[in-house]
Structure 1
Amino acid sequence: MRTTGFDLGIFEQAVRSYASGHLPVSELKGPGFALLGDHFSPVLATLAPFYRLWPSPLVLLLAQAALFAVAVVPLASWAQRTAGRATALTVAFGYGVSWGIAQAVGFDFHEICFAVPLLAFSLTALGDGRLRAAVLWALPLLLVKEDLGLTLAVIGALVARRGRVRLGLAAAVAGVVGTLLEMLVIIPAFSPGGQYPYWNNLDSGGAAGTGFTGLPHLGACAATVVMLLAPTAFLAARSPLLWAALPTLGWRFLSHNPAYWGTNYHYSAVLMPIVFAAFVDAVTARPGGERTARVHLAVSAAISALLLSLFPLARLVQAATWTSDPGIATAHRVLDRIPDGATVAASNHLVPQLTSRASVSEFGLPESRPDPEWIIADTATPQSWPTSNAQQARDIDAAKARGYRTAVQQDGYILLRRP
């Protein structure tokens, strides 16, 4: 009950569509909304066979955890080969508890989980001098999300810089052209508005003090850069591999959306393998000698341990994580009253409990399906998105005025049925 419709529900609806042999559609974004008109992430289709065997949002969450976890293998193995066991353990620990990964795991599922191991394998190969392998591991980034073609382009530039000029330039061109095709042709072809829907994020307007030069903007961006480099004792800044982080940081910091500037949500997950690959590359060079390298490793491990308490992995030692609210059993009893295949409008954190077996939209969003067969709302838990408790109460009253009848009302959960 800690997951939400935005975004776990959306991605489950996408994978469920692929598992049914259709292009991805998400009712949560609007009736019949084609997700290829939002982001270009056909890599999600690889989860469809697993979802057919086990139609559950847990498939997505377990796949994400596995993809994040496997990225530690190339990073630690490379560190072991080139810099020894102490470096390997420091890198494995630092990446494994890194705040960018923890934040992503702590907030639902996102397609970028596929990019994390691809980047880890690609940059490890690049650091090892296996330049063709570096490009081959990076090419699938084009299928993960439209902006990652620019990351492929930077990896191509790094390959060219290391001597394989033709190969590197070909990868760079593929990355830039791929991103342009996805943003200017493919996504607009599926988008209801006929254009890439996120161009307005680059509008420098917005509230006072939050534009490109506003202090809140600059302060948040600077803090994010410090947080990225701190777990490597700032040694990652010495490696050119860190250039691969520039496209992601660029679009985030150029946006006027404050959610992109800081350390929240999943936006920094793709940066973690880049930062730790740069760390291995820098440590291998032994700047300042063996003794200085040992100091860097100790500082890195200490900072990683200190940051643990600030991010979601700290929940593992909290008693509340391991106890179930009695209201959850009530919620499931109420949810069980909704038949499979029904159309439902649900409170945000109830959505993933239904997306595997019903057609679900967000209760309170104007683009949700009008007059679904069922409405289920949590009136006891404080609501912050997409609506407030007060507005939700008004929406419930409005539904009753339209003829919806109360099927169940218990412990803060209310289930309404269309007549």
Structure 2
Amino acid sequence: MERIRNFPRDIGAVFALLLLVWGIFSIISIQTHNHFQTFGWDLGFFDQIIWKVSRGDLIAYSTIAHENLLADHFQPVLYFLAPLYMIKTDVRMILIGQAFIVVMAALPLYLLTKKTTKSLFFSFSICMSYLLFIGTQWTILNEFHQMAFAPLFLALFFYSLETRRTIMYWVSLGGLIGTKEELGLLVVPLGLVVWLFYKKKRLGLVTMAIGLLSFFTLIYIIMPFFSVRGIYSHNDFGVAGYTVSDVLKKSISDPLFFIRSMIIPEVKLRTVISSLFSYGFLPLFSPIHMIPIIGHFASRFIYAGPQFTKWVNVNHHAAPLGILLSIASVYSISKYSDLISRRIKLGRKNVFVLFGVYVIFFALAQDVYFRGPIHSIAKMQLYENQSWMSDIEEVLKKIPHDAPVSSQNNLVPHISQRDNISLLPEIRNASYIAIDMHESPNAFSPLTKNQMKVCFEDLLLNKKFSVIVQKGEAYLLKRNEDVKETNNELQECKYEI
């Protein structure tokens, strides 16, 4: 009881707030999924491999990506989510888990800010800025991705430096590298911060070396070793080059190309400006802490397509940014607080209150301007089920739990906990195919609705499958018993008119 009475009330209050925010994001995530607005890419992919890990398959193979857990991306952090499926085998468990991980990164951020500034209000303001940052919101609400771990490990990384906790430092560093191979590149500028800001030259150099070595070792040795293809799965950076080595050579031999890649097309500049605006441009006043922010943008902007969503903050690619901007803002104000206090003749404590209000203002402004998805918690549409949704649910219930299945993009994550599932137009060895012709965003990707109609008609005309259940526009097809394919692994329905 004595320990409870002595527990800092501010931390208890912040933790309670974070639980509330976690609940809000969890509700939105679950309802988005219930409304068939999550997809085979990427929720269905992650659901299948995490489900397989929970059943003891540590090198889980995805029949959607045709690659395994350690080779599609290097993402061993996903092992930590497998126990959730031991509680309940429901894809919603990892959506709830993701929201918890991202939201709770605000706790070490609060503790770091409190230790640095001694201001409870400013510490609270920074946490709210992180949570309201559009990149943070979409990290949580853009289905599920392994990058959700990045904010927590980054917050722990900086907190460990501020509190001199060696074990936490190395755990957070290992966590970043184990989240996704590309984060090894982010570790390099983080090491530079350790050297230049914290004056730990040896530790900084070791950290930089670990970042570089881990990245290149992963993409050239470890991931190809685990890959069923024997290569790194994410080569091809468009005009920048095919391999990472090609990109480096081109950037060094043609510096103007690299510079153009950072600012063209103009959406990249808009992303940078809007990110800094979200924190009232405070990060600019801590140049050293801008180094990893610049490194983060560079790793996203050097990519030349076709996945142009890497250039904007409305998805998981922006996951590290909220913490990096928050940390830079904290040290900016901490650095100049005494000077500002003298100039405007205001006590240091009140300076932090003033900038706390300033930070909150810009956090709310960017949230309103970008129409943050957190606002959907107050919209009645979030809680309304339409008849077509009920039709799909009835059809999907008819699929045997252990049967190989093929389905369209927005249905896959509802039936992905099985050994074999394919994303149409792939069929392969599917015994059942689930299709719903109700039009909704991204529902048929990579096909269009018209192509899906052609695919559906092809399956019936060629008598490969027969409709066994229909509810509204939702159909369940079963493979005809007399149909034998010679190459199920490559089988696709015809979808071109």
Q: Which residue of 1 aligns with 2:373?
A: 312
Q: Which residue of 2 aligns with 1:329?
A: 390
Please list, as runs of the form range in 1=range in 2, the aligned pairs for 1:212-223 lying within 5 A after superposition: 213=260, 217-223=264-270
Of the two, which has the highest radius of gyration? 2
Q: CA deviation at 1:124?
A: 2.6
Deviates more, 1:247-256 or 1:282-291: 282-291
Paired residues of 1:135 and 1:155 also in contact (CA < 8 A):
no
Q: Which residue of 2 aligns with 1:350?
A: 411
Letter in 2 for 1:274: L
Secondary structure in 2 matching 1:349? coil
Question: Judging changes above 3 Å, is the alpha-carbon distance between structure 1 residues 129 and 41 closer, same or farther for their aligned structure 2 residues?
Answer: same
Paired residues of 1:212 and 1:254 also in contact (CA < 8 A):
no
Question: Judging changes above 3 Å, is the alpha-carbon distance between structure 1 residues 159 and 202 closer, same or farther for their aligned structure 2 residues?
Answer: farther
Letter in 1 for 2:46: F
Deviates more, 1:328-337 or 1:128-137: 128-137
Q: Which residue of 1 aligns with 2:231?
A: 195
Q: Which residue of 1 aligns with 2:52?
A: 17
Q: CA deviation at 1:190?
A: 3.1
Secondary structure in 1 matching 2:410? helix
Alignment match of 1:5 (pick from 40, 49, 54) = 40
Secondary structure in 2 matching 1:370? coil
Alignment match of 1:164 (pick from 176, 183, 200) = 200
Alignment match of 1:69 (pick from 103, 108, 130) = 103
Q: Which residue of 2 aligns with 1:264?
A: 314
Question: Judging changes above 3 Å, is the alpha-carbon distance between structure 1 residues 65 and 43 closer, same or farther for their aligned structure 2 residues?
Answer: same
Please list, as runs of the form range in 1=range in 2, the aligned pairs for 1:172-191 lying within 5 A after superposition: 172-191=208-227
Q: Distance in 1 between matches of 2:235 and 2:121?
A: 45
Alignment match of 1:236 (pick from 280, 283, 287) = 283
Question: Judging changes above 3 Å, is the alpha-carbon distance between structure 1 residues 70 and 53 closer, same or farther for their aligned structure 2 residues?
Answer: same
Paired residues of 1:202 and 1:254 also in contact (CA < 8 A):
no
Secondary structure in 1 matching 2:435? strand
Paired residues of 1:135 and 1:156 also in contact (CA < 8 A):
no
Q: Distance in 2 between matches of 1:315 and 1:241?
A: 33
Letter in 2 for 1:373: S
Paired residues of 2:148 and 2:316 also in contact (CA < 8 A):
no
Deviates more, 1:282-291 or 1:387-396: 282-291
Q: Which residue of 2 aligns with 1:289?
A: 340
1:44-80: CA deviation from partner (whole Å, max 9, x where unpaired) = 1111222123111112111111100111101112222
Q: Distance in 1 between matches of 2:158 and 2:364?
A: 25
Q: CA deviation at 1:130?
A: 5.3
Q: Which residue of 1 aligns with 2:113?
A: 79
Letter in 2 for 1:307: Q
Secondary structure in 2 matching 1:415? strand
Paired residues of 2:184 and 2:214 also in contact (CA < 8 A):
yes
Q: Distance in 2 between matches of 1:331 and 1:215?
A: 44
Q: CA deviation at 1:357?
A: 4.3
The yes-or-no answer on 1:302 pairing with 2:302 is no
Question: Judging changes above 3 Å, is the alpha-carbon distance between structure 1 residues 216 and 236 closer, same or farther for their aligned structure 2 residues?
Answer: closer
Q: Distance in 1 between matches of 2:261 and 2:120?
A: 45
1:286-309: CA deviation from partner (whole Å, max 9, x where unpaired) = 355145655543332112112223
> Can you give the 5+ residue segments of structure 1 that lack an aligned partner in the other structure?
none
1:7-65: CA deviation from partner (whole Å, max 9, x where unpaired) = 111111111221122212111113xx323222110111111222123111112111111
1:187-246: CA deviation from partner (whole Å, max 9, x where unpaired) = 22233443223231253389xxx9973898341111111122112211112222232233
The yes-or-no answer on 1:394 pairing with 2:454 is yes
1:158-189: CA deviation from partner (whole Å, max 9, x where unpaired) = 22222322222222211111111111111222
Q: Which residue of 2 aligns with 1:57?
A: 91
Question: Judging changes above 3 Å, is the alpha-carbon distance between structure 1 residues 35 and 130 closer, same or farther for their aligned structure 2 residues?
Answer: closer
Secondary structure in 2 matching 1:348? coil
Q: TM-score, normalised on structure 1?
A: 0.91
Q: Distance in 2 between matches of 1:211 and 1:152?
A: 21
Paired residues of 1:382 and 1:388 also in contact (CA < 8 A):
no
Deviates more, 1:349-358 or 1:64-73: 349-358
Question: Judging changes above 3 Å, is the alpha-carbon distance between structure 1 residues 133 and 159 closer, same or farther for their aligned structure 2 residues?
Answer: farther
Q: TM-score, normalised on structure 2?
A: 0.77
Alignment match of 1:145 (pick from 162, 180, 198) = 180
Letter in 1 for 2:411: L
Q: Which residue of 2 aligns with 1:95?
A: 130
Q: Distance in 1 between matches of 2:92 and 2:234?
A: 29
Secondary structure in 2 matching 1:408? strand
Paired residues of 1:344 and 1:358 also in contact (CA < 8 A):
no
Question: Judging changes above 3 Å, is the alpha-carbon distance between structure 1 residues 363 and 383 closer, same or farther for their aligned structure 2 residues?
Answer: farther
Secondary structure in 2 matching 1:203? helix
Paired residues of 1:212 and 1:218 also in contact (CA < 8 A):
no
Secondary structure in 1 matching 2:470? strand
Q: Which residue of 2 aligns with 1:105?
A: 140
Q: Distance in 2 between matches of 1:203 and 1:135?
A: 36
Q: Percent identity?
A: 23
Paired residues of 2:84 and 2:94 also in contact (CA < 8 A):
no
Question: Judging changes above 3 Å, is the alpha-carbon distance between structure 1 residues 338 and 133 closer, same or farther for their aligned structure 2 residues?
Answer: closer
Q: How many residues align?
A: 411
The yes-or-no answer on 1:116 pairing with 2:151 is yes
RMSD: 2.4
Q: Distance in 1 between matches of 2:134 and 2:79?
A: 28
Question: Judging changes above 3 Å, is the alpha-carbon distance between structure 1 residues 232 and 115 closer, same or farther for their aligned structure 2 residues?
Answer: same
Q: Distance in 2 between matches of 1:344 and 1:72?
A: 40
